[in-house]
């Protein structure tokens, strides 16, 4: 494990951008997968960049994520192509990617994963609002605590914000510098080959220290938030009635499932003909109950999603972000998932060697 420090930039985003551009320029990788501000979206979108001359729009750590980009990342590395790609991802995106690897949706053979201490994200709408009054919001977010207070409920209560399973980890918390750390053999190799290619011009050197107590402090604060949130949520889903109340206004738009990075089915079972009911079934249900709320199968949908992927939920909060009915889907999911994963002695996105419980099927079970 080698540690490098880049002291040249005060805005961490610039340091990361520099690293990205150099990686591409020096052919250390063939392409970058990184948020990029293009001319037609207000929000930096994950982009696959292969031309080192077209890297200006790179915005690696804007405090926004249009979606959890793990599924998009997976589509680039569905199978090994020999094209080496550096993926700049948030910790929750890596966790989802690790789950997708286990679900046979992609392979990390050609991937170098680069990540950083995550301060969280604000909702897309909020970001555009902030941006309209402050074009330096990307930079200011990291120094202005009031901006950081605008992050999502999920982010505020996320205690898994440091890079895990990255090849190169970049630390901001507890240091004034940007500490680049090769956290895997692959990452260390990439860093040292890059450094020698550019004659040490990144001013990378061994050393660097992080004040762990600051990181721990943040973690403690967020864990507390999480605890409060989970116990509150447990109350709202304690039985079927409360659960149905919570999702009462669900309109079956399936946005949550589209936004979910581990809902990996090509086509959701709820979109197949199984749930395309003939009118006579609806009438039968109505006759039996007297009143039939429409759309039907909303409880079934959320329950099914819980049973299908609560073991793989990485707690990114995107399901809540995309809900048009303001249902706190993520709170519910995260609360249930933590229990599921505890029971299965499994933690989503953590150990890439440990198979997902339902895939480790044995006849004896």
Partner 1 sequence: MDRKFSTLVAGAGISGVRAALDLAELGYRVLLIDKKASAGGILSQLDYQFPNDHCGMCRTLPMIDRNNGAQFCLRKGIFHKNITFMPGCEIETVKGTPGNLSISLKRSPLGVDPEKCTGCLSCESVCPVTVKEDFNGNLSQRKAIYLPVPHNIPNKRVIDFESCTKCGECVSECPTNAIDITKDVGIETIDGIGSVILATGTELYNPDGVDLYNTSKIKDVVTATAFERIMSSSGPYKGKIQRPSDGKEIKKVAFIQCVGSRNLMIGADYCSSVCCMFALKEAALLAEKTKSSDSAIFCMDLRTFSRDGERYKERVKEKGVRFIRSRIHSVEKDDSGNPSISYVDADGKQKSESFDLVVLSTGKSQNLTHPSFIENEGVFGISETPDFKEISDSMINSSFASSKAIQIAKEYDYETKKSSTQINDDDPKLHIILCSCGNLFKENVDLTKITEDISRIYGIGITTIDQACSLEGWSELKSIIDEKGVNRLIIGACNPQIFSTKLSDNSLLTEIITLAEHISDTESVDEATKSILSEIASSIGRLKKYTPQKVRSMNISKRALVLGGGISGLSSAKTLSDSGVPVTIVEKSDKLGGNLPFISDETVIKSIKNLIEKVSSDSNIDILFNSELSSHKGVPGKFESVISKENTELIVQTGSIIVATGGGKASFDDENERVKTTFDLSIELMEKKVDAKNIVMMQCKDSRVEPFNYCSRICCGKALDNAIKIKEQNPDAKITMFYRDIMAYGDIEKKYTEARRRGVIFKRFEKEKYPEVISNDNGFTIKAFDFILNEDIEIKADLLVYSTGVAPQVDNLEKTLKLKTTVDGFIKEVDFKFRPVDTGKEGIFICGLRRNPANASEAEKEGVSAAQRALRLLNSEILISSGQVAHVRHSICSRCNACVTACPYTARFVSVEDRKVYVDDISCQGCGTCASVCPNNATIIEGFEEKGILDSIEAALG
**Shortest Cβ 288–partner 1 spacing (Å):** 7
Helix axis angle for 12-25 and 185-197, nearest 10°, is: 80
Considering only residues 79, 145, 213, 326, which one is a binding residue for partner 1 as defined by CB under 8 A? 79
Distance separating alpha carbons of residues 91 and 66, to the nearest angstrom: 15
Does 361 engage in binding with partner 1 (CB under 8 A)? Answer: yes
The two three-digit tokens of residue 134, written as one number: 């402050």
Of 56 and 289, the one with the shorter C-beta distance to partner 1 is 289
**Shortest Cβ 355–partner 1 spacing (Å):** 9
**Shortest Cβ 316–partner 1 spacing (Å):** 19
Does 308 engage in binding with partner 1 (CB under 8 A)? Answer: yes
Peptide bond into 299 cis (omega under 30): no
Q: By CB under 8 A, which span of 22-30, 108-116, 224-232, 354-362 interacts with partner 1?
A: 354-362
Q: Which residues of 184-194 are buried (b: 16+ CB within 10 A; e: fewer)?
A: bebbbebbeeb
Do the Cβ atoms of 347 and 99 come closer than 8 Å?
Answer: no
Does 141 engage in binding with partner 1 (CB under 8 A)? Answer: no
Does 272 engage in binding with partner 1 (CB under 8 A)? Answer: yes
How far does the chain reach from its first CA to its final CA, in angstroms?
40
Do the Cβ atoms of 111 and 127 come closer than 8 Å?
Answer: no
Angle at 65 between CA 64 and CA 69, to 5 degrees: 160
Of 198 and 268, the one with the shorter C-beta distance to partner 1 is 268
Does 176 engage in binding with partner 1 (CB under 8 A)? Answer: no
Does 255 engage in binding with partner 1 (CB under 8 A)? Answer: no
Of 31 and 312, the one with the shorter C-beta distance to partner 1 is 312
Q: By CB under 8 A, which span of 47-55, 196-204, 222-230, 281-289 interacts with partner 1?
A: 281-289
**Shortest Cβ 91–partner 1 spacing (Å):** 23
Does 105 engage in binding with partner 1 (CB under 8 A)? Answer: yes
Does 103 engage in binding with partner 1 (CB under 8 A)? Answer: yes
- Identify the bridge partners of residue 158 per DSSP, sorted by sequence position: none
The two three-digit tokens of residue 355, written as one number: 């198979």
**Shortest Cβ 363–partner 1 spacing (Å):** 6
Q: By CB under 8 A, which span of 100-108, 116-124, 215-223, 247-255 interacts with partner 1?
A: 100-108
Q: Binding residues for partner 1, how many (CB under 8 A)?
A: 26
Sign of CA dihedral 60, 66, 69, 75: negative
Do the Cβ atoms of 64 and 130 come closer than 8 Å?
Answer: no
Does 51 engage in binding with partner 1 (CB under 8 A)? Answer: no
The two three-digit tokens of residue 216, written as one number: 């721990």
Closest CA to 70 of 321, 267, 316: 316
Q: By CB under 8 A, which span of 44-52, 282-290, 315-323, 346-354 interacts with partner 1?
A: 282-290
Does 265 engage in binding with partner 1 (CB under 8 A)? Answer: yes
Sequence-distant (6+) residues with CB within 8 A of 205 are: 4, 5
Strands in 111-116's sheet, in edge-to-edge order, are 3-6, 178-182, 168-171, 111-116, 85-89, 31-36, 45-49
The two three-digit tokens of residue 55, written as one number: 């890297």
Q: What is the CA radius of gyration of the chain?
A: 22
**Shortest Cβ 354–partner 1 spacing (Å):** 15
Closest CA to 159 of 88, 215, 83, 212: 215
Instruction: Annotate 93-109 with DSSP letters as a single string.
Output: HHHHHHHHHHTTS---T
Of 162 and 252, the one with the shorter C-beta distance to partner 1 is 252
Does 75 engage in binding with partner 1 (CB under 8 A)? Answer: no
Of 295 and 324, the one with the shorter C-beta distance to partner 1 is 295
**Shortest Cβ 186–partner 1 spacing (Å):** 25
Of 226 and 305, the one with the shorter C-beta distance to partner 1 is 305
Considering only residues 1, 281, 282, 294, which one is a binding residue for partner 1 as defined by CB under 8 A? 281
Q: Assign 48 to helix, strand or coil.
A: strand
**Shortest Cβ 348–partner 1 spacing (Å):** 15
Which spans of this chain sit near partner 1 (rule: CB under 8 A)? 79, 103-105, 264-269, 272-274, 280-281, 284-285, 287-288, 308-309, 358-361, 363
């Amino acid at each position: 494990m080698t540690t490098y420090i880049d002291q040249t930039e005060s805005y961490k985003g610039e340091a990361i951008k520099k690293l990205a551009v150099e990686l591409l320029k020096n052919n250390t990788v063939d392409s970058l997968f990184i948020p990029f501000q293009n001319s037609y979206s207000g929000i930096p979108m994950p982009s696959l960049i292969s031309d080192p001359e077209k890297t200006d729009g790179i915005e690696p750590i804007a405090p926004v994520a249009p979606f959890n980009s793990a599924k998009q990342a997976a589509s680039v590395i569905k199978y090994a192509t020999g094209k080496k790609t550096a993926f700049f991802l948030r910790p929750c995106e890596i966790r989802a990617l690790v789950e997708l690897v286990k679900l046979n949706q992609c392979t990390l053979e050609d991937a170098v994963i680069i990540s950083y201490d995550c301060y969280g994200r604000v909702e897309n709408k909020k970001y555009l609002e902030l941006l309209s009054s402050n074009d330096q919001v990307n930079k200011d977010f990291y120094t202005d605590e009031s901006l950081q207070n605008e992050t999502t409920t999920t982010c505020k209560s996320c205690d898994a914000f440091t890079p895990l399973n990255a090849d190169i980890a970049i630390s901001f918390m507890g240091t004034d510098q940007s500490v680049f750390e090769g956290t895997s053999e692959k990452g260390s190799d990439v860093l040292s080959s890059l450094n020698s290619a550019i004659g040490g011009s990144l001013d990378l050197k061994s050393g660097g220290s992080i004040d762990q107590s600051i990181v721990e402090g943040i973690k403690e604060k967020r864990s507390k938030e999480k605890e409060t949130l989970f116990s509150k949520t447990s109350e709202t889903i304690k039985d079927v009635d409360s659960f149905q109340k919570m999702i009462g206004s669900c309109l079956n738009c399936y946005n949550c499932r589209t936004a979910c990075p581990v809902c990996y089915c090509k086509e959701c079972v709820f979109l197949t003909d199984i749930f395309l009911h003939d009118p006579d079934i609806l009438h039968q249900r109505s006759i039996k109950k007297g009143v039939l709320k429409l759309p039907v199968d909303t409880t079934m949908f959320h329950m099914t999603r819980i049973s299908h992927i609560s073991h793989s939920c990485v707690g990114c909060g995107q399901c809540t972000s995309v809900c048009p009915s303001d249902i706190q889907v993520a709170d519910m999911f995260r609360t249930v998932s933590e229990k599921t994963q505890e029971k299965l002695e499994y933690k989503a996105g953590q150990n890439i060697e440990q198979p997902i419980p339902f895939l480790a099927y044995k006849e004896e079970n």
